[in-house]
Amino acid sequence: MTKQHTLPFRPTGLVFALASAGLLAALPATAQQSPSAKADEDQGQRIVVTASKRQEKQREVAGTVSVLDGGDLERRGSRDQEDSLKLTPGVQFNKGDIASNTITIRGIGTATANEGSGAQQGPTGSYIEDVPMASPLGKGTVQDPLTWDLDRVEVLRGPQGVLFGSGSLGGAVRYLYNKPRFGEVEASVKAEVAKASAGGTELSLYGMVNAPLSAAAALRVVAFDRRDPGYIDNLGSRTKDANDVHQRGGRVLLSLRPMKDLNATLVLSTQKTDQGDTFSVSPDPGRLEHTSPNNSTRSSTSDFYSLTVDWNLGAHTLTSITGHWRNKGMALIDDTELFASQGIVVPQVYRPQTSSSKATSQELRIASNPGRTLSYVAGFFHQDMKGSGRGQQIDPSAAFGVATLVDLTSQGSGTESAVFADTEYSFGNGWSAGAGGRYYRTEVDSSSTGTQFGAPSGFGPVGTKDSGFTPKFTLKYRFAADSQWYAVAAKGYRYGGVNGSAPFKAYKSDSLWSYETGLRLTPMPGLQLDLAAFVLDWKDAQFTYFIPPTPPSRLPESGIDNVGKARSTGVEAALRYRVNAAFDLAASLAYIEAKTQAAVAIPAGRGSITAPVGSRLPGTPELQAAVQANLRFAGPFASQGRANATYTHVGDRVMFLGGNKPADAYDTIDLGVNFARGSWTLAAGVANVTNEKGVMSITGAPAGVGAFAQYFLQRPRTMTMSLRYDH
C-alpha cells in the first residue's frame, strides 16, 4: 500500500478529545449556558444567511433556502448527510459507499450513484464556506462534515450559476463552521456510544476548545474520533458487521482582527474515513447481507485549507477567499457477484482503485452592507484543478486469458474563470427588483492510458472548452413584516467532458433555466408558512448509459451522453409553529415531477431499450415530507429536559433512466431526549425506530444485461447515548 501524504498536524480525534478534556482544568471558569438553553434562547430570532454572498434575512431571500442549525442537528443525533438532508424535502440523498454519495435537488439528476458515472461533475454544488468542493473531472471530494461544532448547513434550491458557478444546476449545499470567538473561553467534550440493530457497538469521542489569544486573536480547535457500527454481514468472507466506519480528524480555525474593520479567518481541516465493507446488500433487500469473497474496503483522506479576509469599508465590504483542497482515495471493490450475474462464474474478481485530486481557488468580491436602497455583490473567481487515478480489474483465474482484465490510468485538469454581479434595488412601498449574471470560461483536459483484456486502450489528451453567460432576475413585494411574494428566473450550467472508456465519446455541457415564485406568510405570531412553485427546463441533460458487451469482453461498460431535454415541475411547502415556550412544530412537503421531454435510446444487453417522452428521471420521489416536533420540560434532578421526534417520508423512485430498478416508498421515525444540568448534558436517541429497510439507491447491471442489483438501505434501528460536558 502506498503511503499517503498527510498534514503535519493530523493527530487522531482521540488525542484531540483527550487534550480538550485536559485543558478544561487549566481554563478559567466562565459562566456558560448549556446547548439546549442556548437553543431555547435563540427560538424566534430571525435567521441571517449568506446564500446571496451578503448578509440577508432568510425570509427576505428571493428563492428557497433551508437552514439546518448545527446545534439542532447534533441534538437530534444526526451523524452525516443521511440523517440531516432527509429534513429538507425536495432534496434527495442517494446513498453510496463513502465518497460515493450523490445529492439531487428538485429532481435534477440522471444517476443515483457515481459508481459507473465516469468523470462527470455532479448536478448539486458542495461548498465549505464559499470554497467549491466540486470537480469537473468527477474526482473531487465528496464532503460530509460532521455536525459536531458546525454552525449551520444552508441548502440552496434552484440553480446557483450566478454566485456559485458550475455544478450547481439543481442547487447547492453549503457547510459553515463555528468560528473562533474573541474574548470567550469555551471547551466541550462528548463521548457517544452507538448500537446498531443486529449489528455492532462503537464508541465515538469529540472535543472542542475555543481560546482567545489576545484582544485581536482567537483560536478554535475541533477534533473527533467517530466510529459507526457495522450491520451488514459478508457471507463470502465470513465477516460479521463488516461495514463499520472509522472517521477521525480535526480542524484548526484562527481568527485575527488587526484593526476594528478588518477580520481574517484561517481554516485548516483534515479528515480520514475508512470503511470495512460496502453498505450495499444483495440479492435480497430485506436481508442485511451479501456474498463476496473479499470485503469491499474504502479509504478517503480529505484536507481543506481556506483564508477569508473581510475588510469593512463602511458602505460596503471587500472580501478575499483563498481555498485549497486535496483528496486521496483507495478502494478494493469486489465484482464477483456482478460477473456471476452475467454467467461468468470465477472464484473472485476485484477492482483495486486509487485516486487523487487537488484544487486551488481564489475569489475576490465587494458587497454592499445591509440597509441600503441598492444592494449588490460583484466579484471575480478562478479555480485550477488537477486529478489522477488508476483502476484495475483482476481475475486471478485468468478465465479470459489474462489475469488483469483492465488497467487504466487517467489524468485530467480543469480551470474555471468567471466574473459575476448580483444587484437588488428597493423602489419603496415594499417593491424591489434585482438582476445579476455570471460570465464564465471553462476548460478541461483529459487523457487515459492502459490496457483492456490485454489490448492497448486509452485516449487523449483531449481538451474541451466552453464559455457562456448565466443571468438571474428577481422581483419581490414585501406586504407585511416577515411576509412577501417573490419571483425569480435563473440559469445554471455544468461542465462537459470525455468518457473514460471506449469509445471515449465526448459529451456536452448542460444547462437549465429555473422559474420560481413563492409566498412567505406570517398569519399569526409564532406561525410561519412558506410556499413555492417552480419549473426547471433542462437542456442537453447529461445521463449515464451502458454500452453493450463487445468481444472479448462479456460485460457492459458505462458512459455519459446528453439527453435532448428534461423538465422538473413541483411545489414545496414549509410550516413552522411555535405553540408556546415549551412546544414547537415544523412540517415540510415537496411534490416533484421530473421527466424527460425527448425519447432516449439506451443501450442495454445486445440491443437497446427506449425511454419514451415523459420517463421519470432517476432517484427523485414524487412526494417527500418531514415533520419535526420539540418539547421542552422540567427534567429530574433540577435538569432541563428536551424531547424531539422526527417523521420523514420518501416516495417511490426509479434508479435508472427507462424505469427499471424501482424502489418503493419508505418512512422513518427518529426519537430523542436529553437532560441538561449545569455544564452536563445526557442524551439518548433511537434512529429508524421501526427498523424499516428503505432503499435509498441501487447499483448493478442495467436493464437487459442481468438482474444483478446492489441495494443501499437506510441505516437500521440505531440506539445512541452520549454524555457531554461544556465549560
| 3 in any annotated domain | no
Among left, alpha and beta (phi > 0; psi -120 to 50; other), residue 171 is left
Q: What cell does 409 get?
A: 490510468
Please give the Cα distance from 389 to 139 (Å, whole number): 8
**What distance lies between CA 84 and its chain's CA centroid?**
10
Q: Does residue 543 sit within a domain?
A: yes
% helix / strand / coil in the chain, to the nearest 5? 5, 60, 35
Residue 351: closest CA among 329, 371, 336: 336
Residue 327 is placed in which grid cell? 483528496
pLDDT band at 553 (very low <50, low <70, confident <90, very high): low
pLDDT for position 99 = 80
Yes or no: say if 184 and 211 are a contact pair by the CB < 8 Å rule: no
604 falls within a domain: yes
- Is 111 a member of any domain? yes
Cα–Cα distance measured from residue 410 to residue 388, given in angstroms and rounded to the nearest whole number: 5
* CA pair distance 376, 368, nearest whole angstrom: 5
Round to whole Å and give the CA distance between 672 and 483: 33
Residue 313 inside a domain? The answer is: yes
Higher pLDDT, 122 or 185: 185
Strand partners, 320: 309, 364
Report pLDDT for 508. 82
* Sequence-ordered alpha helix ranges (H) in 134-210: 161-164
Residue 1, domain member (yes or no)? no
Question: For residue 257, what are the contacts with CB-CB under 8 A and spacing of at least 6?
Answer: 182, 216, 217, 263, 264
d(CA 191, CA 723): 6
pLDDT tier at 111, thresholds 50, 70, 90? confident
Indicate which CATH number applies to the domain containing 350.
2.40.170.20
**For the residues 123-135, what does the mean pLDDT come to?**
85
Q: Is the residue at 228 inside a domain?
A: yes
Residue among 389, 388, 390, 395 nearest 453 (CA):
395
**Rounded distance between C-alpha atoms, residue 724 and residue 74, angstroms:** 11
Phi then psi for 564, rounded to 5 degrees? Answer: -60, -60
Q: What is the pLDDT of residue 546?
A: 62
Residues 6+ apart with CB under 8 A from 551: none
pLDDT in tens, 45-59: 456 667 778 777 878
Which residues are bridge partners to 392 per DSSP?
Answer: 407
Helices (H), 455-598: none
What's the Cα-to-Cα distance from 350 to each of 152, 294, 426, 507, rounded to whole Å? 40, 8, 61, 29
Query: CB atoms < 10 A from the CB of 388, how many?
Result: 17
Tell me the range of 1-10, 333-342, 519-528 where mean pLDDT is highest: 519-528
Mean pLDDT, range 67-91, rounded to an integer: 86
Contact partners, residue 663, CB within 8 Å, separation at least 6: 652, 653, 654, 655, 695, 696, 697, 698
Residues above pLDDT 70, as percent of the chain: 86
Q: What is the pLDDT of residues 666-717, one digit of tens each?
A: 999 999 999 999 999 999 999 999 999 999 988 875 544 456 789 999 999 9
Higher pLDDT residue, 243 or 602? 243
Res 503: pLDDT: 64
Residue 570's nearest CA partner among 161, 107, 62, 85 is 107
Overall size of the chain counted in residues: 727
Query: What's the total number of domains in the chain?
Result: 1
In which region does residue 686 sit, left (phi positive, over 0), alpha (psi from -120 to 50) or beta (all else)? beta
**3-class DSSP state of 467:** strand
Instruction: Note the pLDDT tens digit of each residue in 141-164.
Output: 456 777 889 999 999 998 988 888
Note whether 279 and 311 are within 8 A (CB): no
Which range among 117-121, 289-293, 399-403, 650-654 shows the weakest confidence by mean pLDDT?
A: 117-121
Range of the domain at 177: 13-726
183 by Cβ neighbours in 10 Å (0-12 / 13-18 / 19+) ranks as exposed
Q: Measuring CA to CA, which residue among 373, 489, 367 is closest to residue 50?
A: 367
Distance CA 715, CA 693 (A): 8
φ, ψ for residue 152, nearest 5 deg: -170, 165
Does residue 516 lie within any of the structural domains?
yes
pLDDT of residue 112: 74
Cβ neighbours around 325 below 10 Å, total = 24
Quote the CA–CA distance of 199 and 608 in Å, as a whole number. 42
Instruction: Give backbone dihedrals phi and psi of 70, rounded to 5 degrees, phi first.
Output: -60, -40
C-alpha cell at 17: 478529545
Q: Say what the pLDDT of residue 543 is.
A: 77
pLDDT band at 3 (very low <50, low <70, confident <90, very high): very low
Residue 458, helix vs strand vs coil: strand
pLDDT at 340 over 50: yes
Output the pLDDT for position 44: 39
pLDDT digits (tens, 9 = 90+) for 498-510: 776 666 677 888 8
Lowest mean pLDDT among 443-457, 463-477, 541-555, 609-623: 541-555
pLDDT score at 113: 66
Three cell numbers, residue 96: 453510496
Select the more confidently predicted residue: 74 or 196. 196
> Does the pLDDT of residue 42 top 50, yes or no?
no
